[in-house]
């Protein structure tokens, strides 16, 4: 999922990241590429237009053009707008109703309603300790009723019998009555779909909705349908007061456009995504995580959280300023940095989350084990303050003295100095690229 989109946007990101200066014209170029990438991913045209207009307005403003690292600031804007487009945050199920909380499943045939009913039942039972009742109101396909019964048995969740001679409303009301009398927390009502939108189906599900007054009306839609998913969502949204959307088959080769369009078009939150045929294949939908996945940014958000939790920001800024002012990054800073990396769970954990930093992981692994950190500290502690500020003073005799002082070999001192040099280079790069800046713009 999202591979193509991610690849295309990744290229835009790469081009921009290197740009020290953004002008109106290279912003236009970048946005043209973003637009193409979204259209190819099957994002609905009105959504693309609105998205590009929003990004453009911000991109041509001070926030981006006026910033020290405009390329990254622009990526930050694209990221934020993508997140916003998909709903900004995760919307959980609302089960606050007087029990039983009724969940009505709506959608076309084959969208994944029955499977999703099972997945939800599993989730509610196992994670929320809810007593769930499942019922099928699909009186047109006996196989659908059987399918739900089988799922219920697998999950050891109670199933309310129904058959094709009954009317859907009658089935649902009987199940509701049973759920009340047997103290079920949640009743999930699976319904009949059709191959395409049709009036009889809409009338039937509207009647069901009116009869059982669900607290959640979930529209289930196959992400692989692309543009059609959006049209169907619109039709269901017009007929029913939907409370949320479940996008299924996100594990397939869907181009991802539905995920980007559905929220905008229906105004309803995507609450879950289906990521497999198995009952475990259901995940809450997090717009920010999906956006960072699309932009191939690694898990930038959790990185920012880590940094906020552990790094003294003033200290980090002081270090950045120092590097920028040309004063250089010395061994004292190196020691501080390594101590902070350790606090963050090791540099490799940190770098994993940074986009494109994979090749640095090995270096990080060498530096970040607790033992290694202690040895590095030991070596640096054995240096005089002057040596720490000016590592170039460290010739053979000084190295021997330091090695002896720290109880390590001269090779190890050399290795540390090597690592220090590499880190120094990396710091210069980051300060040029403005990692701190990027992080600040992401927090926005």
Contacts (Cβ under 8 Å, ≥6 apart) of 198: none
Q: Is 99 in the site for ligand GDP (CB under 6 A)?
A: no
Q: Which of residues 114-143 bind ligand GDP (CB under 6 A)?
A: 114-115
Contacts (Cβ under 8 Å, ≥6 apart) of 298: 292, 352, 353, 354, 355, 357
Query: Minimum Å distance from CB 257 to ligand GDP?
Result: 17
Asked if 64 and 70 count as a contact pair (C-beta separation under 8 A), the reply is: yes
Stretch that binds ligand GDP, among 59-67, 105-113, 199-207, 418-426 (CB under 6 A): 105-113
Q: Is 284 in the site for ligand GDP (CB under 6 A)?
A: no
Closer residue to ligand GDP (CB): 190 or 412: 190
Distance of alpha carbon 317 from alpha carbon 319, whole angstroms = 5
Helices (H), 213-325: 227-239, 257-266, 287-294, 300-310, 313-324
200 is in an annotated binding site: no
Closer residue to ligand GDP (CB): 250 or 320: 250
Distances 263 to 19, 172, 229, 247, 296 between C-alpha atoms, Å: 33, 29, 11, 11, 22
Contacts (Cβ under 8 Å, ≥6 apart) of 238: none
Closer residue to ligand GDP (CB): 195 or 210: 195
Query: Minimum Å distance from CB 219 to ligand GDP?
Result: 11
Taking CB atoms within 8 Å and a gap of at least 24, the contacts of 209-214 are 209/104, 209/240, 209/241, 211/169, 211/172, 211/173, 212/102, 212/104, 212/172, 212/173, 212/176, 212/187, 213/102, 214/102, 214/103, 214/104, 214/189
Q: Is 109 in the site for ligand GDP (CB under 6 A)?
A: yes
Q: Is 275 in the site for ligand GDP (CB under 6 A)?
A: yes
389 is in an annotated binding site: no
Asked if 339 and 373 count as a contact pair (C-beta separation under 8 A), the reply is: yes
192 is in an annotated binding site: yes
Asked if 242 and 268 count as a contact pair (C-beta separation under 8 A), the reply is: yes
384 is in an annotated binding site: no
The one among 5, 31, 74, 113 contacting ligand GDP by CB under 6 A: 113
Stretch that binds ligand GDP, among 273-281, 347-355, 366-374, 436-444 (CB under 6 A): 273-281
438 is in an annotated binding site: no
Closer residue to ligand GDP (CB): 114 or 340: 114
The one among 3, 63, 251, 296 contacting ligand GDP by CB under 6 A: 251
The one among 276, 328, 356, 405 contacting ligand GDP by CB under 6 A: 276
Distance of alpha carbon 255 from alpha carbon 266, whole angstroms = 19
Query: Minimum Å distance from CB 279 to ligand GDP?
Result: 10
Cα 312 versus chain centre, distance: 26
The one among 24, 277, 305, 332 contacting ligand GDP by CB under 6 A: 277
Binding mask 286-315 for ligand GDP (x = CB under 6 A): ------------------------------
434 is in an annotated binding site: no
The one among 248, 337, 340, 423 contacting ligand GDP by CB under 6 A: 248
Stretch that binds ligand GDP, among 104-112, 332-340, 363-371, 378-386 (CB under 6 A): 104-112
- DSSP string spanning 323-356? HHTTS---HHHHHHHHHHHHHTT-HHHHHHHSTT
Q: Which of residues 184-213 bind ligand GDP (CB under 6 A)?
A: 193
190 is in an annotated binding site: yes
Distance of alpha carbon 285 from alpha carbon 116, whole angstroms = 14
- Which residue has the CB atom at the shortest distance from ligand GDP? 274
How many other CB atoms sit within 10 Å of the CB of residue 30? 23
Stretch that binds ligand GDP, among 38-46, 275-283, 308-316, 372-380 (CB under 6 A): 275-283
150 is in an annotated binding site: no
Q: Which helix (H) or strand (E) holds 104?
A: strand 101-106
| Annotated binding-site positions for GTP | 107-114, 190-194, 248-251
| Annotated binding-site positions | 107-114, 190-194, 248-251
Please report, as ranges, the residues that interact with ligand GDP according to CB under 6 A: 107, 109-115, 193, 248-249, 251-252, 274-277, 281
């Amino acid at each position: 999922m999202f591979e193509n989109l991610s690849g295309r946007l990744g290229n835009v990101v790469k081009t921009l990241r290197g740009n020290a200066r953004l002008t109106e014209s290279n912003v236009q170029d970048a946005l043209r590429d973003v637009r193409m990438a979204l259209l190819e991913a099957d994002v609905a045209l009105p959504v693309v237009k609105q998205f590009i207009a929003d990004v453009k307005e911000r991109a041509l403003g001070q926030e981006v053009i006026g910033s020290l690292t405009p390329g990254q600031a622009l990526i930050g804007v694209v990221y934020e707008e993508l997140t916003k487009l998909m709903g900004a945050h995760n919307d959980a199920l609302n089960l606050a109703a007087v029990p039983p909380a009724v969940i009505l499943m709506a959608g076309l045939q084959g969208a994944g309603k029955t499977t999703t009913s099972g997945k939800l039942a599993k989730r509610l039972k196992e994670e929320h300790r809810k007593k769930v009742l499942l019922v099928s109101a699909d009186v047109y396909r006996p196989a659908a009723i059987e399918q739900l019964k089988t799922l219920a048995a697998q999950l050891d969740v109670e199933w309310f019998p129904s058959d094709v001679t009954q009317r859907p409303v009658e089935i649902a009301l009987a199940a509701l009555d049973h759920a009340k009398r047997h103290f079920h927390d949640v009743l999930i009502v699976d319904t009949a779909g059709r191959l395409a939108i049709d009036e009889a189906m809409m009338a039937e599900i509207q009647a069901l909705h009116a009869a059982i007054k669900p607290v959640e009306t979930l529209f289930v839609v196959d992400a692989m349908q692309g543009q059609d998913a959006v049209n169907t969502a619109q039709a269901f949204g017009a007929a029913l007061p939907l409370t949320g959307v479940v996008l299924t088959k996100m594990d397939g080769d869907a181009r991802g456009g539905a995920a980007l369009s559905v929220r905008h078009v229906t105004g309803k939150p995507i609450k879950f995504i289906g990521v497999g045929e198995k009952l475990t294949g259901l995940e809450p939908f997090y717009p920010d995580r999906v956006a960072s996945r699309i932009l191939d940014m690694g898990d930038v958000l959790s990185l920012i959280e880590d940094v906020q939790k552990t790094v003294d920001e003033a200290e980090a800024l002081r270090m950045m300023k120092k590097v920028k002012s040309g004063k250089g990054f010395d061994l004292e800073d190196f020691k501080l940095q390594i101590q902070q990396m350790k606090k963050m769970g090791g540099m490799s954990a940190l770098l994993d989350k940074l986009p494109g930093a994979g090749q640095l992981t090995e270096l990080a692994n060498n530096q970040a084990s607790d033992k290694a950190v202690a040895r590095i500290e030991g070596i640096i502690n054995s240096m005089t303050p002057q040596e720490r500020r000016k590592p170039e003073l460290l010739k053979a005799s000084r190295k021997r003295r330091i090695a002896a002082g720290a109880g390590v070999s001269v090779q190890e001192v050399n290795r540390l100095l090597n690592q220090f040099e590499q880190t120094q280079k990396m710091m210069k790069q980051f300060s040029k690229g403005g990692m701190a800046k990027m992080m600040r713009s992401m927090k926005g």
